[in-house]
Structure 1
Amino acid sequence: MSNLHPFPAAPAVPPSLPLPFDPAMAPALRSRMLRGALPEPLQRLLDRGQVGRHSRFTEDGFADVVEDWTPPDGVTPRHAALARRALAEIDETILAPAPANHLLGRVLALLSHFPAKTTTPEVEQLLAMDWADDLGEFPAWAIDQAARRWRRTRKWRPSIAEIRALCEEACAAERALAERLRAIAMAGERSGETGGGSASVRPVLASAMRRMR
């Protein structure tokens, strides 16, 4: 009789379909459709997670109110596999960083609406490169929304920090969902390593709910 033991089978995960996403939709509807397209086991875990809030302080004093989200107990390796697949699709498509050419073109176009009288074209180009570096983490649709919102509501030249804040606001719901899926994946993988079914892990989501401006 052979002493060899078969390797444990990987959790079976059904093939995924492209997640629905239209950045032109209202944020609430967009978020609801995206979440509703996830596998039902993930939706149930997202509904059962625990949310806590606490104040965050820096050396300068109060900074903002932070939300902590913790997965419920009972997260399994199969849940982790489902979460990893959905997370990969969100990260690689919906939240994928904007292409460099698109980002730089959008920044130059935005700044051209608010020309600086004492800035040479060479300096303008260097400034645009700084903008591209500081906005490089955001998807193209969030940058486009931020630029459009600024053009339509402001009469002065924007700062990088102001456009970053608008970009963060534009994709806040999608980033929060991605972080919660990441928390589920980590909990399920930890459960598989320990052989238990508990997902008692430290909160891993800390997204700013309100910033002092």
Structure 2
Amino acid sequence: MKPQLRQTLDGGKKNSLTDGEFAGAQENKSWNPPSLNREEYDDIVGIDLPALEDYLRPANDTWIDGRIVTLLSHYYVPNVPFDVQVAAHEDWVRLLSPFPQWAIEAAVDEWLSRPGRQKPMPGDIIAACRWRVEEPALNLKLLRKLVARYERELPGGRT
């Protein structure tokens, strides 16, 4: 993504604070996407949007399945019936399925590198995934707003 486009998208964001601490970026609802020229539009539609959509594409369930089996193998839990293990595992896969592979992998690695022996719950990994995809997802939303404005302004509508 070109620096000028990044600056444009930054105008559509505002920092969120929780108890005086930075809590991430949110969409600035009063942001009015600027007009694009044809070259900028073509770059966004042909390069930036597909790249960001690919970056945020959810991991496939088979990969998530294997990653969770590996993660949970670090934690011994005696006498859990097999059907309960399967049901719990299905919860993990279902809850992590919206996230890209890179975000899940980073969240799991972060958890495993922590000191202590606490077994993660799905919400622990989900929170770490959300934090990682928050800004790219916001960028994607703002890019789509830029494109929509350009297409609305075309004579006769979208190309």
1:34-63: per-residue Cα shift (whole Å, max 9, x none)? Answer: xxxx2466345335x2444679xxxxxxxx
Q: Count how many residue pairs are aligned between Structure 1 and Structure 2.
A: 149
Name the amino acid aligned to 2:128: L
Larger radius of gyration: 1
Aligned equivalents of 2:25, 2:155: Cα separation in 1: 30
Cα deviation for residue 142 of structure 1 reads 0.9
Candidates 113, 136, 143, aligned match of 1:174: 136
Gap runs ≥5 in structure 2: 18-22
1:78 offset after TM fit, Å?
A: 4.9
Match of 1:45 in 2: 8
Preserved CA contact (<8 Å) 2:65 2:93: yes
Of 46, 49, 68, which aligns to 1:107? 68
The one-letter amino acid paired with 2:144 is R
Contact 1:46 1:71 in 2 (8 A): no
Q: TM-score, normalised by structure 1?
A: 0.58
Alpha-carbon distance in structure 2 between the residues aligned to 1:141 and 1:73:
32
Per-residue deviation, 1:134? 0.9
Distance 2:111 2:57 in 1: 22
Shift of 1:171: 2.7
RMSD of Structure 2 on Structure 1 (CA)? 3.0
CA contact (8 A) 1:51 1:67 kept: yes
Do 1:83 and 1:181's aligned partners in 2 also have CA atoms closer than 8 Å? yes
Label 1:191 to 1:41 Cα distance change in 2 as closer, same or farther (>3 A): farther
More helix by share: 2
For residue 114 of structure 1, give the secondary structure of its aligned residue in structure 2: coil
8 A contact 1:146–1:167 mirrored in 2: yes
1:138 deviates by: 0.9
Mapped to 1, the partners of 2:50 and 2:41 lie a distance apart of: 12
Superposed displacement of residue 107, structure 1: 0.7
The Cα offsets for residues 85-126 of structure 1, whole Å up to 9 and x where unpaired, read as: 31112212x222112221100011111212333422332122
Cα gap change, 1:193 to 1:42, in 2 (>3 Å): farther
> Please, which runs of 5 or more residues in structure 1 have no aligned partner?
1-37, 56-63, 196-213
The one-letter code sitting in structure 1 at the alignment partner of 2:5 is: L
Q: What amino acid maps onto 1:162 in structure 2?
A: D
Answer 1 or 2: which has greater strand percent: 1
Counting aligned pairs with the same residue, the percent is 24
- Looking at structure 2, the residues matched to 136 and 193 of structure 1 have their Cα atoms a distance apart, in angstroms, of 40
- Structure 2: distance between partners of 1:103 and 1:110: 10
Find runs of 4+ consecutive structure 1 residues off by over 4 angstroms.
52-55
What's 2:20 paired with? none
Paired position in structure 1 for 2:119: 157
